[in-house]
Amino acid sequence: MIFRHRFDPTSLREYDIRGTVGKTLGPEDAYAIGRTFASVVAGDGGRTVVVGYDGRLSSPALERALVEGAMASGMDVVRIGCGPTPMLYFASADLNADGAVMVTGSHNPPDQNGFKIVLANRPFFGAQIAMLGQMAATGNVVAQASGTTRMVDIRAAYIDRLLRDHDHDARALNVVWDCGNGAAGDVLSLLVKRLPGRHRVLNAAIDGRFPAHHPDPTIPANLQQLITAVRQDGADLGIAFDGDADRLGVVDDTGAIVWADQLLLILARDMLRARPGATIIADIKTSQVVFDEIDRAGGRALMWKSGHSQMKERMAETGALLAGEMSGHLFFADRWYGFDDALYAALRLLDVISRLDGSLSDARRALPATVSTPELRFACPDTRKFDVITEVATRLAQAGADVCDIDGVRVSTPDGWWLLRASNTQAVLVARAEGATQAALDRLKAALSAQLAQSGVTLPDHADPATPH
């Protein structure tokens, strides 16, 4: 029987396959992903695919259909069950698998879900995802076969590996953790039992309805429960995970948010003491302070595109030992595998804090000060968002502006810089601006707003708050 399937075109994204369950994504799509991706693996001479899933209510059904599709293309499927996305990445590396697929909606709303894909321990994205859609539509898959499936509980091996690099002689800390009812809950609860110090875990129960708050630690409102707990406990810090635990958010001992680029700089300075001259990558949304300070600390700072797949590829190309994004993805290739793992990054952070002369808040306040907006995300249709960027870029080029265009437009002026880019995962535009003073920031935001207005887009009111940085 000839296999053919057409995906909803909006589900085939740059970094993953994602949609609204029951509308643009369902079990038939999961089966098709299994069937086509397994055909890619088989075409490369591979045989083994690892599959995992997050805590969303729709994930078990999608995982079952995915496994059926992969088996129908002759794969030996290793099922690791429910857990964090980085645990899947670890399983793929540890088991020397030929491919891996994670069923996860990450930080998106509860009615959405998706698939993150790995081929030979490298991200599978961009043109490769488009190729899957074409393969399914044309029926370009291997002949029907009968694969196998087996369950493997990888949690103990994953936790052991996480702890291998942890400094067990480090100063014991008081830490509050917030799993956000996401996929980190079970593993994190086991992990903290083996850590020194005091550890309080919030929202550990995996629940795809996310009853406590939405699992996106980049949004300050989602950190309020953690901030309250840190202040109540007099904790050294608080750490929050997103829905599949490949991103984290951090608050210091005063309850102030440590933004992801500040966190990257704190980690980078510590790593560079042992690895002088190391290349460290930050995404285009990152504060200029981070690039300047990494260079000053003896590192080689590189700016690159936002997106976890883009970052991992760039790290492999450059030999970078550390990378980070404003979205909270942190990537260690120093003693780790180069993939984004919020649990591993959290342990590395605990080691750094234990070595500080003062507190995390002291380290945050000692960073060079600027005034910036947080990451601003506002709705723009998928059919329009990239056109807006093209229009803005064209006008800036005509005006002779100082522009970095590796990912959207980052415009440098004597006041500082502003950024506008299109999200590759959601129907939104993303903006940010940073200046030395509030007046400088106001001028940068006015320039950004004027460019958007010329393309028929209004910078929303929530873009007003500025954050000392």
- Cα end-to-end distance, the chain, whole Å: 60
Count Cβ atoms below 10 Å from residue 455 Cβ, excluding itself.
Answer: 17
Residue 214 near residue 107, CB atoms below 8 Å = yes
Complete DSSP assignment for 104-141: --TTS-TTEEEEEEEETTEE--THHHHHHHHHHHHT--
Which two structure tokens, joined as six digits, stand for 412? 């440098």
Catalytic residue among 92, 106, 309, 372: 106
Active site (annotated) includes residue 106: yes
Residue 329 near residue 158, CB atoms below 8 Å = no
Which two structure tokens, joined as six digits, stand for 469? 């940085």
Rounded CA separation 207/407 (Å): 35
Identify each DSSP E strand in 1-47 by its residue range.
Answer: 17-20
> Nearest 5°: phi and psi at 456?
75, 20
Give me the helices (H) in 234-307, please.
260-274, 288-296
Which two structure tokens, joined as six digits, stand for 16? 């993953």
Residue 469 near residue 370, CB atoms below 8 Å = yes
**Residues noted as catalytic:** 106
